[in-house]
Amino acid sequence: MQNVTDISEVLGILMGGAGQRCLGILSAAQVDRFGNLNSTMVPPNTLITGSGGANDVVSGASEVLAVVPHSPSRVVSKVPYVMGPGKRVRALVTTLGLFEKPEGEEEFWLTGIIEDGKTDLSEKVRETKEQCGWDSRIVSDLKKIPLPNDEELALLRLFDPHKFFLTESA
C-alpha cells in the first residue's frame, strides 16, 4: 500500500511558519455558518472522537476547505463544541452545494448548487436552504456545479484505492 504522504509530513508543512501558503481540506461531524468545525463532542455527552491533527490543520493552514454531507444535523447555525475555529475556513462543500465567505464576510453564503440533472435550480436552492441550519444568503450569480463525470470520479478514486471512503451512493 502506498500513501500519498503521512501525518508527520503534513503537519510539518503546516507548521512551517507565518509565510507558508497551504490549503487544508477537512471534514467534520458539524460545521456552522462561521466555519467552526466540530468532530469532538455533541451535547449532552456524546463523545465522537478527539480532534487529532484537525485543529492543527484548521489553525495552521492559510485557507481551509471543509467537506460535509448536507443535513440539518451537520450543517448547523452554531456548533455546540468548537473543535476548530472557522476563521480560515473559507469554503464549505456539501452534497447539495457550495458555500463561501465573500470578501469581508464572516458567514458563509450559498454560491453554488450541485446539479443532479433531475431537479430544477429553484427547487435545488429551496432544498439546500431548507436543510441548512441557518438562513443562508445567496449570491446573485449562483454557480451551477455539474456532477462529476466518469473520468473525474476515476481520478478521485485514485486517492482511495481500497475504497475505504466510498459510499453506496458514489
pLDDT at 14: 56
Query: Shortest CA distance to 101 belongs to which of 28, 33, 29?
Result: 33
- pLDDT values of the chain reduced to their tens digit, one per residue, 170 residues: 565 677 667 666 655 555 677 788 888 989 999 999 998 877 777 767 777 778 888 888 888 999 999 999 999 999 998 999 999 999 999 999 999 999 999 999 999 999 988 888 899 999 999 999 999 999 999 999 998 899 998 888 888 888 876 655 44
The residue type found at 114 is: I
pTM: predicted TM-score of the whole model, two decimal places = 0.82
Q: What are the structural domain ranges in the chain?
A: 21-157
Q: Which fold is adopted by the domain 21-157?
A: Glutaconate Coenzyme A-transferase (3.40.1080)
Residue 103 pLDDT: 92
Name the residue with cell 468545525: 37
Nearest to 113 by CA among 100, 105, 102, 101: 100
Q: Does residue 69 contact residue 26 with C-beta atoms inside 8 Å?
A: no
Q: Could you tell me how many residues make up the chain?
A: 170
Cβ atoms 125, 142 nearer than 8 A: yes
CA neighbor of 35 nearest in space, from 62, 69, 60, 58: 58
- Grid look-up 462543500 returns 93
Three-state secondary structure call for residue 86: coil
What is the 3-class SS of 72-133, one letter each residue?
A: CCCEECCCCCCCECCCCEEEEEECCEEEECCCCCCCCEEEEEECCCCCCHHHHHHHHHHCCC
